[in-house]
């Protein structure tokens, strides 16, 4: 029997009556109270009598399984908090989490918050250079990592005077640790039953997520503990999480989806989550969901398209009847993928739209609401969204016209600034609206449709990659004079990185040189940011002031109209 008793009874009704007070009331929070995400995700759930409920079912690459109850999680996060505090880390200092998807990553996140640190999760796939940029910008005090990632940290440690503690969670003593390196074994630590949680308040900084823009280095998006108010209720209403659910969020916590909806939202709702260390593999994913009887699955379009590629037969080999709600985020979810999921899983993927900066889902398809495949759905109740004119930034108030997606500020999980970059942050607001930097339109029924990004950021497999970082790495190669990185179409990842390069005098284009350049940047960039193709060109299109016009190169790759270049030139 289909379950029609959704947490959000009716979108239309909710629009009339919703207020963030509902979330606060359910969480037992009143304005001015202390609020600590670490406490809300573990201690509070135990206080509600659910200490013995499973919080995490975790599987390693090898299929080894570990299970943790909410009480285990409460105690282990206490142990981590005590360890960090004893080491000398102070509230407000940045603690980077640089690990694969292992329990220490999840518990380190909550433990760090419990002792008042600002947690800074970073993809373990990052190379030394990407890591350095982010640790240097945040002036990070400590990094928690694994043995296998330690060499990348050692490479840059000397250049990072503020980085005082390198904590290794799986040191086996086979090789001596060096100065500033500490071994920490979660399972062997003293179980701390009582911990005095840092008295954070609504505006106390919590999480620092790095996100890429067109220019400059990646920016640290500064979240606060109050974000919980949005993350709790959107998890409940959009992901429809219920007491007996087994929830699987495929995102890595290096990405905001993996924290807002892979840690904070589900655990503050007292949900059982499963986590797998493995990357994408169709057969293993289906087996994983079958084994754990996953009921709610939150994933991303690239993964869905990859599953589509593997075909329908493989799906039929598995019993996936437990699945009751599917959602997706990160890139445009094409109508074909939505229809395919209906065909093979008997359920449509519900597209959700949001950003690192928004902290929570802001536009979405809701359980029970009619889905228009290809549309992102409607604004979450409590969030006012519109489309503004691309030049005046005033609401268009017209349907079917493309403009920029904009939100009225004021929901709890909006970031409070970019780390050390208030000017760029303030630049995102115009006429009282927060500009998302994405183009879209609204149809006659109030559904939002995504058109594309309004800047040069490349969205590859749902991950934003700034051209600046790639170009900076490329021009460090002795043969490269100038470079421009743009996205080119890809059937699975939506976009992949293509680099255009002009060479310095004395260098000739060749396959060999291309390989050398690729190998050179591979050490500096994460796999996602790696160019999939290099094209040597004589010159790059530029504005009169000398700025590279990536837009022209991008349009070429996508077979689109280049647009009015003269205006662009005059604009500079």
| Integer CA distances (angstroms), 321 to 3, 16, 192, 347, in order | 13, 35, 40, 10
CB of 257 to ligand PRX, least distance (A): 5
Interaction of residue 354 with ligand PRX, rule CB under 6 A: yes
DSSP summary character for residue 418: E
Interaction of residue 469 with ligand PRX, rule CB under 6 A: no
Interaction of residue 323 with ligand PRX, rule CB under 6 A: no
State whether residue 290 is helix, strand or coil. Answer: helix
Interaction of residue 329 with ligand PRX, rule CB under 6 A: yes
Binding track, positions 370-409, relative to ligand PRX; x by CB under 6 A: ------x---------------------------------
Distance, CA of 368 to CA of 365 (rounded, Å): 9
* All residues at 6 or more sequence positions from 300 whose CB lies less than 8 Å from its CB, including other chains: 250, 251, 257, 328, 329, 330, 331, 461, 462
Nearer to ligand PRX, 210 or 536 (CB): 210
Interaction with ligand PRX in 203-262: which residues (CB under 6 A)? 211, 256-257
Q: Are 224 and 212 in contact (CB under 8 A)?
A: no
Among the listed residues 275, 464, 501, 528, the single contact to ligand PRX using CB under 6 A:
464
Q: Are 366 and 375 in contact (CB under 8 A)?
A: no
Nearer to ligand PRX, 146 or 417 (CB): 417
CB of 91 to ligand PRX, least distance (A): 27
Interaction of residue 421 with ligand PRX, rule CB under 6 A: no
Among the listed residues 72, 245, 438, 495, the single contact to ligand PRX using CB under 6 A:
438
* All residues at 6 or more sequence positions from 37 whose CB lies less than 8 Å from its CB, including other chains: 110, 113, 206, 225, 227, 228, 264, 268
CB of 28 to ligand PRX, least distance (A): 28
CB of 554 to ligand PRX, least distance (A): 14
Binding range to ligand PRX, per CB under 6 A, among 71-79, 303-311, 349-357, 480-488: 349-357
CB of 376 to ligand PRX, least distance (A): 5
Distance, CA of 473 to CA of 129 (rounded, Å): 9
What ranges make up the beta strands (E) of 136-267? Answer: 142-145, 165-168, 181-183, 205-211, 219-224, 246-249
The DSSP annotation for 38-94 comes to HHHHTHHHIIIIITTSEEEEEE-TT--EEEEEHHHHHHHHHHHHHHHHHHT--TT-E
Among the listed residues 450, 468, 500, 536, the single contact to ligand PRX using CB under 6 A:
450
How many chain residues interact with ligand PRX (CB under 6 A)?
Answer: 22
State whether residue 196 is helix, strand or coil. Answer: coil
Among the listed residues 38, 213, 262, 330, the single contact to ligand PRX using CB under 6 A:
330
* Residue that has been written with the tokens 């390198």 in this structure: 166
Among the listed residues 38, 112, 332, 467, the single contact to ligand PRX using CB under 6 A:
332
For ligand PRX, the binding residues (CB under 6 A) are: 211, 256-257, 329-333, 351-356, 376, 436-438, 450, 453, 459, 464
């Amino acid at each position: 029997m289909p379950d029609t008793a959704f947490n959000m009874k009716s979108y239309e009704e909710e629009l009339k009556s919703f207020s963030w007070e509902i979330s606060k009331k359910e969480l037992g929070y009143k304005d001015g109270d202390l609020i600590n995400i670490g406490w809300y995700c573990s201690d509070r759930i135990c206080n509600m009598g659910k200490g013995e409920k499973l919080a995490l079912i975790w599987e390693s690459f090898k299929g080894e399984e570990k299970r943790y109850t909410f009480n285990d999680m409460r105690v282990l996060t206490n142990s981590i908090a005590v360890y960090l505090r004893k080491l000398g880390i102070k509230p407000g200092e940045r603690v980077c989490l640089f690990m694969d998807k292992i329990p220490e990553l999840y518990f380190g996140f909550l433990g760090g918050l419990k002792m008042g640190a600002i947690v800074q999760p970073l993809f373990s796939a990052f190379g030394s250079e990407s890591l350095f940029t982010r640790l240097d910008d945040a002036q990070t005090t400590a990094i928690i990592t694994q043995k296998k990632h330690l060499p990348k940290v050692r490479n840059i440690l000397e250049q990072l005077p503020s980085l005082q503690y390198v904590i290794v969670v799986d040191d086996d003593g086979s090789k001596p640790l060096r100065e500033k390196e500490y071994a920490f074994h979660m399972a062997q630590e003293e179980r701390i039953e009582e911990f005095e949680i840092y008295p954070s308040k609504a505006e106390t900084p919590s999480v620092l997520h790095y996100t890429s823009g067109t220019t400059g280095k990646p920016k640290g998006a500064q979240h606060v503990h109050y974000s919980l108010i949005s993350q709790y209720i959107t998890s409940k209403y959009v992901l429809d999480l219920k007491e007996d659910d087994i929830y699987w969020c495929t995102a890595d916590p290096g990405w905001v989806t993996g924290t807002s909806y892979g840690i904070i939202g589900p655990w503050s709702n007292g949900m059982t989550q499963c986590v797998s260390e493995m990357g994408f593999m169709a057969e293993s994913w289906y087996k994983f969901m079958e084994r754990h009887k996953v009921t709610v699955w939150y994933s991303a379009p690239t993964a869905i398209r990859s599953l589509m590629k593997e075909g329908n037969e493989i799906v039929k080999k598995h019993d996936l009847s437990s699945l009751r709600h599917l959602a997706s985020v990160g890139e445009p979810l094409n109508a074909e993928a939505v229809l395919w999921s209906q065909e093979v899983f008997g359920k449509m993927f519900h597209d959700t739209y949001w950003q690192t900066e928004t902290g929570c889902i802001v536009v979405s398809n809701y359980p029970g609401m009619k889905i228009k495949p290809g549309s992102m759905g409607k604004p979450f109740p409590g969030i006012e969204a519109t489309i503004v004119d691309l030049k005046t930034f005033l609401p268009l108030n017209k349907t079917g016209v493309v403009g920029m997606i904009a939100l009225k500020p004021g929901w709890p999980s909006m970031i409070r600034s970019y780390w050390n970059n208030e000017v760029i942050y303030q630049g995102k607001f115009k006429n009282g609206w927060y500009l998302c930097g994405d183009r879209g339109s609204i149809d006659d029924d109030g559904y939002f449709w995504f058109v594309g990004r309004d800047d040069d950021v490349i969205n590859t497999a749902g991950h934003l990659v700034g051209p600046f970082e790639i170009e900076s790495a490329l021009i460090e190669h002795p043969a490269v004079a100038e470079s421009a990185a743009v996205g080119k179409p890809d059937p699975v990842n939506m976009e992949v990185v293509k680099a255009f390069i002009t060479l310095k005098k004395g260098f000739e284009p060749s396959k060999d040189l291309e390989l050398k350049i690729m190998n050179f940047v591979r050490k500096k960039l994460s796999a996602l940011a790696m160019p999939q193709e290099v094209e040597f060109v004589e010159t790059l299109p530029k504005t009169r002031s000398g700025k590279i016009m990536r837009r022209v190169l991008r349009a070429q790759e996508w077979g689109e109209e280049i647009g009015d270049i003269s205006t662009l030139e005059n604009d500079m």
